[in-house]
Chain A
Amino acid sequence: MSETKQVLLSGDEAVALAAFHAGVALGVGYPGTPSTEILEEFSRLGGHAQWSPNEKVALEVAIGAAYAGARALATMKHVGLNVAADPLFTVTYTGVTGALVIVSADDPGLASSQNEQDNRRYAVAAGAPMVEPSDSQEAYDLFLAAVEMSERWRIPVLYRMTTRVCHAKTLVRPRSSPLAAPRASYTRDVRSRVMIPAYAKPAHLALRRKLAEIEAWNETSPLNSETAGSAELGIIASGVAYAHALEAAPEASLLKLSVTYPLPFGRIARFAAGVKRCVVVEEGDPFLAEAIRARGIPVESKPEMFRFGELNVNRVRRILRGDVSPEPQPKPGKAPMLCEGCSHRAVFDVLRKLDCIVAGDIGCYTLGVLPPFNAMDTCVCMGASVGVGLGLRHVLPPEQARRVVSVIGDSTFVHSGITGLAEMVYNPPPTGHVVIILDNSTTAMTGHQEHPGTGRNLDHEPSSKLSFEGLAQAMGLQRVRVIDPRPGAPEVEETIRECLDSGELCLIIARRPCILIARQIREWEKCAAVCSALQS
């Protein structure tokens, strides 16, 4: 293909490079491990990358770009696709004019997530063709292939990665000649783009026709590959499980699937018929095995215990041996803690002291659940703190209800807490409620990304800044307090007590930058001040 030099890249970096070489006009997303580095790297390379307030908005922006004929990329972690599921399930009907590739970075083993959902199910449910790389070279090559598939069938493609593919670094040889990018331009096509029932019915039929075509194409697609080996043992694998299988059973025949929806059942049936024993090796749910067996193709699935956690070479050896004996559990390492001097600490100290019932949320501050704070009672998904807190307030007896507090980070508040606040003023509990925004001026958990509340864009350049207090006032909240949660500040306890005792709806904004990034923020601010002085 080319004479370019090999470089060592993570899967995320390889996707970013491929997106750049594919002429992707816009990359959008919301941070989430293990997907975050894709847009950061895409921007570093010179691509146009943006953080959106959440994944749903990100996907919608990407859809707009793809309707305009451009190539668009949306990135998110697995749970992000839940948030973006609504547009996903209908953009497969509308199709696109340019290309739309949606990266879903799954986290089997929960390295940094609240669940280990298997997003391959979304491809089937929404009718989006799915591509799965197994290492960084494939992350690069298959991304380019996904762009081509999306353009050829005018359909969004789900690009499913996992933690080990996103974060492992392996060698990549990039193409020497990037793809030529199309020019964006709008052509009216109301029947395809406006999903009123009269247009959506034929659009659904059209989607199924496209998927049937893609399935037929996938039967001979060079993206899947077969390695002839032993006639005794055949392995069907995808993603990083393929790399483990190569090592665990070098003698086996292998069918490597890169396009895992719609599946090439003819090819799979022929492969399975050619070996005595055929085992599906896959991480997470038995997604491939169930689909293949439903077609009456006799393959073995892994034992149930391997649904949980990541696979590795030893676990694949066990699957092949049918060994379901208990696995050795390594000694647990040291758990993470809130940093020394973290601005979240002062708030949790007080919440514990006041024996609050804390509806928590997701971010660094979730560590408030651990000792020495022990100050979090619930954590479901991003934004849930507000709704869950309200639900508790509505039904608990008043003496307990009065102790309920919702705690949410600034990035999480913008992501999905604002609608919770609207709910609060619309359906106020009889005892009132207290919401605390832990505003540390960054999305710390995922490595310090910007969001609309920081007033800086993905590249840390000045942008419009969403005012939380202004927003609360516009919603009709009367009691809005801004405090500085510096260590030992008496106002933290005073303000929380005052709000709890008031029986009203209250918003407390505890504002102090994350100490790991405070200096950097001052530098960006200085930079911005200089720039605006130069411009005026």
Chain B
Amino acid sequence: MSDSTVTNVVIGGLGGQGILRSSDILADAALRAGFDVKKSELHGMSQRGGSVSSDVRFGARVFSPMVPAGEADFLLLLAADQLEPNRHVLREGGVLILPEQVDAEKLLNRKSLNVALLGLLSRRLPIDEEHWLAAIRSNLPEPLHPANLQAFSLGRG
């Protein structure tokens, strides 16, 4: 049922950039908001800096765990040079979110870029802020909370 009640997000970048952490946070926030959620990615040799991408789908009922090519509503990239290998997932009119859309200078910790981009994405998703904040807290160790909550609100604006 490739119906419009399912929202498809693909997060892409390079190993070590926190792709899987971001998709965990998004999936958790969607779960907290009461949606059916599926998330999928290829693990493997990601610590060696290769391309990584993760699919998150949520809605009333989700079947396949993978976003079909050409059906992503959002493509969020942590590395701008990863556009080419991921472009094909985006549907016509789908939204592209790129790292330069947040001012990295303003981040308390540059490693929180992934969460800042989630903040940007969050503006367009039907998930209340409280669920995002709870998901960030539960998916990151406590010492990282301040930097990541700041990054999220920077992105969310």
Residues of A whose CB lies within 8 Å of any CB of B are 6, 8, 33-34, 111-112, 135, 163-164, 167-171, 240, 243-244, 246-247, 250, 312-314, 328, 330-339, 364, 367, 445, 516
Contacts and interface: CB of A to CB of B under 8 A. Distances in A.
A330 B43 contact: no
Contacts of B86: 330, 333
B146 interface: no
A460 B68 CA distance: 40
A33 B42 CA distance: 10
Nearest to B51: A333
Interface stretch (B31-39, B107-115, B147-155): B31-39
Interface string B62-102: 11111011110000000001101111100000000000000
A169 B38 contact: yes
A168 B49 contact: no
A8 B28 contact: yes
Contacts of A338: 48
Contact of A367 (B48, B53, B62, B66): B48
B1 A250 contact: yes
A33 B43 contact: yes
A337 B43 contact: no
Contacts of B65: 135, 164, 168-170, 240, 243
Given A6-B31, A112-B44, A246-B63, A169 B2 contact: no
B45 A445 contact: yes
Contacts of B87: 331
B88 A328 contact: yes
Given A334-B49, A336-B15, A337-B50, A164 B40 contact: yes
Given A244-B63, A247-B64, A333 B39 contact: no
Q: Max chain A CB contacts within 10 Å: which of B36, B62, B65, B84? A: B65
Contacts of A312: 64, 66, 68-69
Interface residues of B, number: 41
Given A34-B43, A112-B43, A336 B63 contact: no
A8 B62 CA distance: 13
B46 to A, nearest CB: 7
B11 interface: no
Contacts of B71: 313
Contacts of B27: 8, 169
Given A33-B44, A332-B85, A336-B48, A243 B64 contact: yes
22 contacts: A8-B37, A111-B42, A168-B39, A169-B65, A170-B37, A170-B39, A171-B36, A247-B2, A247-B64, A250-B1, A313-B2, A313-B64, A314-B68, A330-B88, A331-B84, A331-B88, A333-B50, A334-B85, A335-B50, A337-B49, A338-B48, A445-B45
Which 7 residue pairs of A and B lie closest in terms of their CB atoms, listed nearest first?
A: A333-B51, A336-B50, A336-B48, A112-B44, A168-B65, A168-B40, A247-B63
Given A250-B1, A339-B48, A167 B40 contact: yes
B5 interface: no
A331 B66 CA distance: 18
Given A167-B40, A170-B37, A334-B14, A112 B68 contact: no
Contacts of B70: 314
A339 B28 CA distance: 31
Contacts of A6: 31
A333 B48 contact: no
Contacts of B2: 247, 313
Contact of B66 (A135, A246, A313, A336): A313
B82 A333 contact: yes
A333 B85 contact: yes
A80 B14 CA distance: 29
A334 B80 CA distance: 13
Q: Max chain B CB contacts within 10 Å: which of A34, A168, A335, A339? A: A168
A6 to B, nearest CB: 7
A332 B53 CA distance: 12
A333 B36 CA distance: 30
B82 to A, nearest CB: 7
B40 A313 contact: no
B63 A516 contact: no
A112 B42 CA distance: 9
Nearest to B55: A168
A171 B57 CA distance: 12
A170 B64 CA distance: 10
B45 A112 contact: yes
B129 interface: no
Nearest to A339: B48
B50 A167 contact: no
Q: Max chain B CB contacts within 10 Å: which of A312, A328, A338, A367? A: A312
A330 B38 contact: no
A116 to B, nearest CB: 14
A243 B84 contact: no
A171 B49 contact: no
B31 A331 contact: no
A419 to B, nearest CB: 27
Contacts of A367: 45, 48
